[in-house]
Chains A and B, each alone.
Chain A
């Protein structure tokens, strides 16, 4: 009864016609693996991002923003939760296996969560630049994603990421209109977070990128990055901040900003868990996972009692 395709080209023809794949379809294994890898990394990034956010709850200035950071932490952990459910339904790894792999340093998560947020300015840079970059990549998946369960859950995630981004915009406005100290603090953060945000989009997409061919992603990395640059350069300049790229230039003829060459070494290091803060972050998450083992065990008892009843 499960939907199946005779071969890969039959499946690709289905995708090219706008076909949507569901969890109980007999999809080609390569597609299953690719979609799983993508969602698992997204889930890991939400969880690791949520843990970073949590670190800032006691340190966030002002009650309104503190409460917003609390809400954002809930959102990110919630997104991780939803995405792990969608990923687990692909039957490649269970949710527990994905978490164990993440905390053992065997799985990938977004490069930006391999750096440490030291100042409140860093938190603003994350909410303003990084969340916007992540949101742009998610929107490019949501637009036309061939895997139905992922696309449906992305709708909710994107709505909530929008709240985070608007808080980021408001905070940038506040520091921009703030004291010299606050402006210098944000400029320092911008200097450190600009390039990681650029790298978040990934290297230019290869012509034969299967994520594009199978309609998982609908836009190329370099296109998304460029659109983000065109939006953020004037915004940051407008607030009076400088962008840490000596080769950033305005192309009068094209009416566009062009950026300097991106060094991909830092991104590669984060993919090997060798970023500046990778070890501490994974270590803390792993410690938290083992400290909360008693909760999971208590829940297992509840489940057993229910089965016995």
Chain B
């Protein structure tokens, strides 16, 4: 038996999302089980199943260094401050 990670895409513009996992004997049975467990009410129009052993995982620690890169963001606060100042001056 194998464990599959199940990804479900809702109809429309949504991206695929991880729904959960299931255990099955082969790909065909895995698909049926995934449909009957995660899309009983047609919550999605597409399923992706990935054998868990084939997942390449980057865990929290691997991603962590990028939590400290403020130069990759700009919250627009400098420009907003100037706009606010101009609004107050013209009020």
**Chain A residues near B (Cβ < 8 Å):** 1-3, 22, 24-25, 71, 74-75, 78, 81-82, 85-86, 89, 95, 152-153, 156, 299-300, 302-303, 306
Contact A3 B59 (CB under 8 A): yes
Contact B59 A299 (CB under 8 A): no
What is the CB-to-nearest-CB distance from B10 to chain A, in angstroms, rounded to a whole number? 13
B residues less than 8 Å from A86 (CB atoms): 20
Contact B1 A152 (CB under 8 A): no
Contact B23 A1 (CB under 8 A): no
Q: Write the B28-49 contact mask toward A (1 if CB under 8 angstroms, else 0).
A: 0100000011101000000000
Residue of A1, A71, A95, A302 touching B59 (CB-CB under 8 A): A1
Given A3-B61, A22-B60, the answer on whether A85 and B25 have CB atoms closer than 8 Å is no
What is the CB-to-nearest-CB distance from B88 to chain A, in angstroms, rounded to a whole number? 37
What is the CB-to-nearest-CB distance from A174 to chain B, in angstroms, rounded to a whole number? 24
B residues less than 8 Å from A299 (CB atoms): 1, 24-25, 29
Chain B residue at smallest Cβ distance from A301: B25
Contact A303 B1 (CB under 8 A): yes
Size of chain B's interface in residues, with CB distance under 8 A? 22
Q: Write the B1-34 contact mask toward A (1 if CB under 8 angstroms, else 0).
A: 1110000000000000011111111100100000
**With the chains together, A81 CA to B32 CA distance in Å?**
14
Chain B residue at smallest Cβ distance from A303: B25
Main secondary structure, interface of B, reads mixed
B residues less than 8 Å from A85 (CB atoms): 3, 20-23
Contact A74 B40 (CB under 8 A): yes
Given A1-B59, A306-B25, the answer on whether A82 and B40 have CB atoms closer than 8 Å is no
**With the chains together, A24 CA to B24 CA distance in Å?**
22
Contact B59 A78 (CB under 8 A): no
Contact B29 A302 (CB under 8 A): yes
What is the CB-to-nearest-CB distance from A14 to chain B, in angstroms, rounded to a whole number? 11
**With the chains together, A152 CA to B19 CA distance in Å?**
8
What is the CB-to-nearest-CB distance from B6 to chain A, in angstroms, rounded to a whole number? 10
Given A85-B23, A152-B20, the answer on whether A303 and B40 have CB atoms closer than 8 Å is no
Contact B22 A1 (CB under 8 A): no
What is the CB-to-nearest-CB distance from B77 to chain A, in angstroms, rounded to a whole number? 25
Chain A residue at smallest Cβ distance from B27: A306
Contact B61 A2 (CB under 8 A): yes
- For A2, A75, A89, A306, which residue has the most chain B Cβ atoms within 10 angstroms? A306
Contact B22 A306 (CB under 8 A): no
Q: A1-B61, A300-B1, A302-B29 are in contact. List 14 more A-B contacts (CB 8 A).
A: A1-B59, A74-B36, A78-B40, A81-B22, A81-B37, A85-B3, A86-B20, A152-B18, A152-B20, A153-B20, A299-B29, A302-B26, A303-B1, A303-B2
